[in-house]
Amino acid sequence: MKKIILISGLILSGFLTSCQDSIDEFLEAPTKSSLDESVIFSTPALASGAVDGIKIPFAETNSYRGRFLPYYGLNTDIEWFNASQTDDNKSQLCTYSATANNTEMNTANNAWAMMYSGIERANICVQGLRNFGNPKPGTELGQLLGEALTLRAIYYADLIKSWGDVPMRFEPITTETIYLPKTSRDEIYKQLIKDLGEASTLVAWPKGSSATATVERINKAFVKGLRARLALAASGYQQYPDGVRRSNDPELAVDKMYKLALTECREVITSGTARLEPSFETLWKKYNQEDINAGGESLWELPFSDGRGRMLFSFAVRHTTNDQFHANGSNRGGTAGPLPFVFYDYDQADSRRDVSCVPYLYGAAVSGIAKQVINKDKLDTWYFGKYRYEWMKRFVTSTNDDGVNKMYMRYAEIIMMAAETANEIEGPTAAAPYLKEIRKRAFPLAQHAVKVDAYVNALTTKQAMFNAIVEEHKFEFTGEMERKQALIRWNLLKTNLDLAKDKMARLQARTDEYATVPSTLYYKYNTDNVSLIIYGLNRGETTDPGTGYTAVSWTWTGATAVTKANSLYKAGVNPDAKQFWPIWQVFIESSNGKLVNDYGY
């Protein structure tokens, strides 16, 4: 019997929350529509609607929108939840201390459920397109199959990086497969890498067809980049139930996976279909302005409508009240930010620094106008300047969402992965051009001889080049929440978190590399009477600049400071033993005994 495809309102048994009788009744229900699979998946317009439906779970209330993106990836050696010292259910998701009954997550409609909802939608589309669509490269239905395969891979990739081993299902649910135990992530990674290899033959390059004109649709450059990212993750270090190690599967060995990743990255680079934005600041202005044209630096963005999504709501420079830039509600943005020392680890000439790390917020609006204000005595609280309401073209009026997309991958990551894999396989000389390309954008032309050429040319050993790539990754991606998975696969998670704690202690005491960080800031308002002119952020700026400036303390001392500096991860916790969240209790209890938590949960 043919079953109706319930794309827009799919009753997903994969939530693992329905009783078996209801599941059986749904799966055996008679068709209620004249449109069956053979019609939907052989008709491009209908199939396109079905594939678009795969993306619906991204934006559901407790999915990526309000739970996964606001919390996953925080508390690294560069980023943290700004209230990490407050021991509550929100901070515990970031401080490596979440429990299976965490109240932010332990709901039947949470991210875990929504990811499996997306996977089920994708499974239906993949099966339908294969059976009825004759999807070939260069055809509309071929493009759609490639998109479905890739969207499924995105959901699975995020499941694995959040929970480790998870149930694997690559076909639509049946009564026999409704309850499944966890599968080794190695098997899932291998299937995803295979699927993305196929998808890359089906989808067009950015701007290669009308379907890939924007970064809200899947294109070949992104597919290849995602395949490279997953190859590195699959072959990297990670926590397994028996400890932190690399995979024992010979198909996921470093030499094979790094070679695959390097090949994919080089094919993207040589295609000429993507590029670095010449200015780092312009890149992020275009992002906040919602420029979704393909062919630039952004490769794919998780799409949100104007009334969904919380990227600025969560991560923007904080706005205390509604003001001239938004009506998104009070205290929007600023839930997370860079660690206090990150600004001072950047080279002062690095153009990425002032874009990534912001020391001010917007105060309460007076007659609708808010001014920038120094977060007084808050050296510990910075904001991600990559996300700014003040850079938007659209005035946000929703009180819960901003609608700005999540930039899931950008071309800079392709270059960084090329540098890393070339260094591993071919040595530092092969990696050097890629690292230079990243740094050329970061520094003004007049500094290239020293900051780019001399710096990179001095990296003559594989280890020195690797160390430099780890540092460059930090400066390039602060605030994008890509760091956690990178640290895990490099086996540097706890090592670098502990180093970050030490750096915060030295910054508090103004010792060693932070001895010359000023302890007083001076500010005045620019001619617009809104934006600040700040003196005293840079090393060496210690002399009172004179008339018109107001002085404020820029210190971080006392017991409260020590408590916060030690809150990257909870006391008594080993982050390397808690690399993943627990599966939430609601899913354990409704799994018919198939699911259990590992890692001491």
Of 201, 176, 193, nearest to 232 by C-alpha is 193
Cβ-Cβ contacts under 8 Å for 554 (sequence gap 6 or more): 379, 518, 519, 520, 521, 536
Check: CB of residue 12 under 8 Å from CB of residue 123.
Answer: no
Rounded Cα distance, 479 and 336, in Å: 8
Q: How confident is the model at residue 34 (pLDDT cuts 50, 70, 90)?
A: very low
Mean pLDDT of 486-496: 98
**What is the average pLDDT score of the chain?**
93
Write down the residue that tokens 């390397």 correspond to.
576
Percent of the chain with pLDDT over 70: 94
**DSSP conformational letter for 433:** H
pLDDT at 314 over 70: yes
Whether the pLDDT of residue 20 is over 80: the answer is no
**Distances, alpha carbon 549 to alpha carbons 114, 525, 532, 542, 560, in Å:** 52, 9, 10, 13, 29
**Which has the higher per-residue pLDDT, 35 or 231?**
231
**What's the pTM?**
0.95
Q: What is the mean pLDDT of residues 553-567?
A: 92
Let me know the angle formed at the C-alpha of 358 by 353 and 361, rounded to the nearest 5 degrees. 170
Question: Which structure tokens are listed for 516?
Answer: 């010359």
pLDDT band at residue 370 under the 50/70/90 scheme:
very high
What's the pLDDT tens digit per position in 71-94?
999 999 999 999 999 999 999 999
So what's the pLDDT on residue 7?
Answer: 38
Statement: residue 12 has pLDDT above 60: no
Q: What does the pLDDT average to over 498-506?
A: 97
What is the rounded CA–CA span in Å between residue 36 and residue 34? Answer: 6
225 phi, psi to nearest 5 deg: -65, -40
- Triad 340, 346, 347: Cα angle to 5°: 145
Q: How far is CA 412 from CA 41, 127, 403, 451, in A?
A: 36, 34, 24, 18
pLDDT at 202: 98
Helix axes 411-426, 220-235, angle to 10 degrees: 50
C-alpha closest to that of 404 among 310, 325, 281 = 310
**pLDDT tens profile 191-223:** 999 999 999 999 999 999 999 999 999 999 999
